[in-house]
Amino acid sequence: MIIKTADFVISNTNVSRCPKEQLPEYAFIGRSNVGKSSLINMLTGHSKLAKTSGKPGKTQLINHFKINNNWFLVDLPGYGYAKVSKSLRQGFQEFIKDYFLQREQLICTFVLVDSRLEPQKIDLEFMEFLGENGIPFCIVFTKSDKLKLSQLNRNVQIYSKTMTSTIWESMPPHFTTSATDSSGKDELLTFIDDLNQKVLENS
């Protein structure tokens, strides 16, 4: 897939105000400072589409971007940022939860995790929430350029073993990416393109 257009549509904290169009949606979410905005900008080829910041917790809204006029990329707030007030964190959790449980257009969620870290409890718990509610998701390992290939593969294997030793029968689909060298871009966009084709076939 080649992204020709990527247009900001709306930001809000209420799922009822999300776009009414019946276009497939793909949500991107992860812990604060996981590199989500950089990844979104890399995927779309628009360096300033999603706002990047050295300050974690910058994204605090549901942000819809229309891609090629036929699907939505949804940039969701990061979770687990300690310096955001408890009341604000609770607000995040509620409207994020509402989005996942109510948004019928959602086709797949991309859960971003830092490839340099071993599995984090908060990420595993979030994926468990998705699984329990039947919400399809993939894991996107970010910042892969920071590791040697052998270490990257080792960390992915650790993730797989951790997940399959708990509630998961197998590791979900996963991608290794880098916003710096654009690795993983073609694989991710091809995956989305294939899902879009299936949605069209079934509509």
Q: What is the pTM of this model?
A: 0.89
Parallel, antiparallel or unpaired: strands 106-114 and 71-75: unpaired
Residue 169, classified by CB atoms within 10 Å of its CB into exposed (0-12), middle (13-18) or buried (19+), is: exposed
CATH code linked to domain 6-202: 3.40.50.300
Q: What is the pLDDT of residue 79?
A: 75
Cβ atoms within 10 Å, residue 173: 13
Domain boundaries, the chain: 6-202
The string of pLDDT tens digits covering residues 186-200 is 999 999 999 999 988
Q: What is the pLDDT of residue 202?
A: 83
Q: Closest Cα to residue 64, out of 17, 102, 112, 111?
A: 17
Tell me the residue ranges of DSSP E strands in the chain.
6-12, 25-30, 62-67, 71-75, 106-114, 137-142, 174-176
Q: Which residues of the chain have pLDDT under 70?
A: 51-59, 80-92
Q: Backbone phi, then psi, for 137, in 5-degree steps?
A: -150, 160
Residue with tokens 């247009």: 7
On whether the CB atoms of residues 142 and 113 are closer than 8 A, the answer is yes
User: Cα separation of 43 and 188, whole Å?
Assistant: 8
Q: Backbone phi, then psi, for 200, in 5-degree steps?
A: -60, -45
Q: What is the pLDDT of residue 80?
A: 62
Parallel, antiparallel or unpaired: strands 6-12 and 174-176: unpaired
